[in-house]
Amino acid sequence: MTLQIGVIGVGMIGQDHIRRLTTVLAGASVVAVSDVSAEQARDVAARIGAKAYATGEELIASADVQAVIVTSWGPTHAQYVLAAIQAGKPCFCEKPLAETEADCLAILDAETAFGRRLVQLGFMRRFDAQYRAMKQTVESGAIGAPLIFQSGHRNPSVPGYYTANNALTDTAVHDIDIARFLLDDEPAAISVKSPRKNSRGGGLADPLLTLIEMRSGALVSIETSVNIAYAYDIRGEIVGETGVVTLAERNDVVVKANGVFSGRVPADWRERFVSAFDEEFRQWIAAAGAGGATGPSAWDGYVATVTSATGVKAMANSSREIIALRERPSLYRTA
């Protein structure tokens, strides 16, 4: 009953997933690892009693491996996901699904040819209790049809190699995905506003306000502030026809001292989304154990890649760009 997992790419994220799968959650066992650094693969394998493979492809092919996690460098995602599909093995892939639209389409084609979902994308927000409550509220009709979704994505700081394009492809991509999830809608056009720059960002175009027009006409406004120092803060509000729903502030305690009340804001994404990651993998273990996947699909990964890439173009040209998507294959039409 224990799912035997191979992990391709054992950097920071890969090791964190291994920790979660081996020490936190029931039902999983990490039996295989590989990495671009053979040494790192061997070290991690030794620590957890797994076997190190020379390549991701060999790991995927191993009879010991029932399901695959892809946490390697972004440009290599597509090849491993395709190999997993060809092997008919369930595959959890961190974003991006692939860095080019062509690779995304190849994956959609392969999975469609296979005939059922094998791929799950690492958009953990879809497993967050707050976003799920937000979606339930919209679906309950309590606020009427959704008209505007305002999302705020704030990081205390980003590394020096981070560019304004990353704000779309790495940061806002989460807001893009959750907007589609919350509104049950697809993006149609995108534009990007670049206000006065945060002086802490060393010239980086930060913050950005990204505007996405959805097919229904609903508008998504995404504020990304990636050098805002104070904390990791995820905000969201949906304005409907008769009401609004807002992500609540959550805190353990409120302290009153020295003339003020106060409470903590999460320090980083790990703290903010720890329960979402747990839930994401709990559901994946169950789905992969049954030979499939659940939650965000390859289709969701494809739309995220195309939308953020179109956003990069819109930012470069200070233009409003149409987002051109393939028709959604029937495999991805069920909720």
Residues 270-289 touching a second copy, rule: CB under 8 A, are 275, 282
> Which C-beta is closer to a second copy: that of 23 or that of 330?
23
Q: How many CB atoms are located within 10 Å of the residue 260 CB?
A: 7
Q: Do the strands 146-154 and 187-193 form a parallel or antiparallel pair, or are they unpaired?
A: unpaired
Nearest by Cα to 193 from 212, 171, 208: 208
Binds a second copy by CB under 8 A, chosen from 39, 63, 160, 260: 260
By CB under 8 A, is residue 322 in contact with a second copy? Answer: no
Among 12, 63, 248, 335, which residue sits at the site for a second copy (rule: CB under 8 A)? 248
- Note whether 203 binds a second copy by CB under 8 A: no
Pick from 177, 90, 170, 80: which is nearest to 127 by CA? 177
At residue 114's C-alpha, the angle toward residues 102 and 1, to 5°, is 120
Indicate which single residue of 37, 113, 202, 230 sits in contact with a second copy (rule: CB under 8 A). Answer: 230
Based on the shown chain and the rule CB under 8 A, indicate whether residue 228 belongs to the binding site for a second copy: yes
| Helix/strand/coil for 62 | coil
The window from 71-79, 93-101, 113-121, 193-201 that contacts a second copy (CB under 8 A) reads 193-201
Dihedral of alpha carbons 21, 23, 25, 26, sign: positive
For residue 195, say if its preceding peptide bond is cis, omega within 30 degrees of 0: no
Structural tokens at position 137: 């509220």
Question: Hey, CA dihedral for 312, 313, 317, 319, is it positive or negative?
Answer: negative
Cβ closest to a second copy, residue 26 vs residue 335: 26
Site for a second copy in 137-176 (CB under 8 A): 137, 142-145, 147-148, 150, 152, 154
| Site size for a second copy (CB under 8 A) | 77
Q: Min. distance of Cβ 205 from a second copy in angstroms?
A: 11
Q: Which amino acid is at 142?
A: A
**286: helix, strand or coil:** helix
Interacting residues with a second copy between 18 and 37 (CB under 8 A):
21-28
Q: Give the per-residue contact string, 102-141, with a second copy (x = CB under 8 A; - = no).
A: ---------------------------xx-xxx--x----
Residue 244 as a binder of a second copy (CB under 8 A): the answer is yes
Which residue lies nearer to a second copy by CB, 96 or 240? 240
Q: Please report whether residue 243 would count as binding a second copy according to CB under 8 A.
A: yes
Nearer to a second copy, 216 or 294 (CB): 216
Subset of 204-223 contacting a second copy (CB under 8 A): 207, 209, 211, 213, 216-219, 221, 223
Note the Cα 282 to chain centre separation in Å.
16
Residue 202 binds to a second copy (criterion: CB under 8 A): no
Which stretches of 65-122 are DSSP H helices? 77-87, 101-114
Among residues 90 and 201, whose Cβ is nearest to a second copy?
A: 201
Spatial CB neighbours of 199, under 8 Å, sequence gap ≥ 6 = none
Does 324 interact with a second copy (rule: CB under 8 A)? no
State the sign of the Cα–Cα–Cα–Cα dihedral 287, 10, 278, 179.
negative
